[in-house]
Chains A and B, each alone.
Chain A
Amino acid sequence: MIRYILQRLIGVIVIIIGATFITFIIGLIGPGSPFNIGPHTTAADVARANHLYGFDLPWYQQYWNFFTHLLHFDFGKSFSDPNRTVSEQISPTLLVSLQLGVSALCVSIFVGVPLGIVGALRRNTWLDTTVMGSSLFMYSVPTFVTIPIYQLAMVFLTQHNMPALPVTGWDPGVYYKIAPIIILGLVGMGYYARLTRTVMLEALGQDYVRTARSKGLSENKVIFIHTLRNAMLPLITVIGPSLALVVTGAFITETTFNIPGIGSTTILAINNRDWPVVQATTVILALAVATANLATDLIYSVVDPRIRLG
Chain B
Amino acid sequence: MARPFRHAVFALLSIAALLVTACGSTSSGQGLAKDQSLTLVVSVPDYVTLDPAQITAQETYAAAARMFDGLVYQDNTDLAIKPDLIDDLPTVANGGISSDGVTYTFHIKKNVKFSNGDPVTANTFAFSIARALNCKVTCTADYYPTTYLGQIAGTQAYYDANNALKSSNQPSKPESDLVGPGKGVEVADPYTLILRQTKPVVAASLFLQMLSYPTGFAIDDKYAQDDPWSSSFSPNWYEQNPPVTGPFKLDSWTHKVKAVYVPNSSWYGPQVKYLKKITEVFNDDTASQFKSYQNNQLDFSYMDTASVPTAKALPDKQFTQVPQLTIRYVAMNYKDPFFSDPKVRQAFAMAMDITTQQHTVWADRNMPSCHIVPKGMPGYNPNLTCLKYDPTQAKKLLQEAKGSDPSKYGTIKFTYQSGNPDRENNATFLVNEWSQALGVTIVKNGLDRKAYLQAVLGKTAQIFEGGWADDYPDPQDFLSLLWSTPQIATGSNNNNASVAAADTLMAQADTDNDTAKRMTEYNQAEQLLINDGAAVPYEQFNLTYVLKTWVKNFTINAGGYVSPYAWGDVQIASH
Residues of A within 8 A of B (CB): 31-42, 45-46, 48-49, 51-52, 79-84, 89, 92-93, 151-152, 154-155, 158-159, 164, 166-171, 255-258, 260, 264-265, 268, 271-273
Contact = CB atoms under 8 A, between A and B. Distances in A.
A41 B142 contact: yes
A271 B255 contact: no
A205 B229 CA distance: 74
B291 A151 contact: yes
Contact of B142 (A36, A155, A271): A36
B41 to A, nearest CB: 10
16 contacts: A36-B140, A38-B144, A39-B491, A39-B492, A39-B494, A40-B144, A45-B144, A48-B139, A92-B256, A154-B295, A155-B294, A158-B295, A158-B296, A166-B292, A255-B285, A260-B282
A257 B282 CA distance: 12
Nearest to B164: A48
A38 B166 contact: no
B288 A167 contact: yes
Contacts of B494: 39
Given A35-B142, A258-B283, A265-B256, A168 B167 contact: no
A31 B447 contact: yes
A46 B449 CA distance: 16
Nearest to B294: A155
A267 to B, nearest CB: 10
Given A256-B288, A268-B45, A37 B454 contact: yes
Contacts of B282: 258, 260
B238 to A, nearest CB: 9
Given A46-B141, A258-B285, A40 B295 contact: no
A31 B292 CA distance: 35
Contacts of B188: none
Most buried by A among B451, B454, B492, B494: B454
Contact of B257 (A39, A154, A260, A272): A260
A37 B45 contact: no
A265 B163 CA distance: 30
B468 interface: yes
Given A32-B453, A37-B454, A272-B450, 20 more contacts: A35-B142, A37-B450, A38-B56, A38-B453, A39-B491, A41-B141, A42-B491, A45-B144, A48-B139, A48-B141, A83-B236, A151-B291, A152-B291, A154-B291, A167-B288, A169-B257, A169-B281, A256-B288, A258-B288, A268-B45
Contacts of A256: 288
Contacts of A268: 45
Interface in B246-300: 255-258, 281-283, 285, 288-289, 291-292, 294-297
A46 B142 CA distance: 9
A151 B468 CA distance: 34
B448 interface: yes
B17 interface: no
Interface string B441-468: 0000001111111100100000000001
Contact of A33 (B296, B419, B453): B453
Nearest to A44: B163
Contacts of B295: 151, 154-155, 158, 164, 166-167
B291 A155 contact: yes
B48 A51 contact: no
B26 to A, nearest CB: 24
B144 A83 contact: no
A51 B141 CA distance: 11
A35 B285 CA distance: 22
Nearest to B296: A158
Contact of B141 (A37, A159, A171): A37
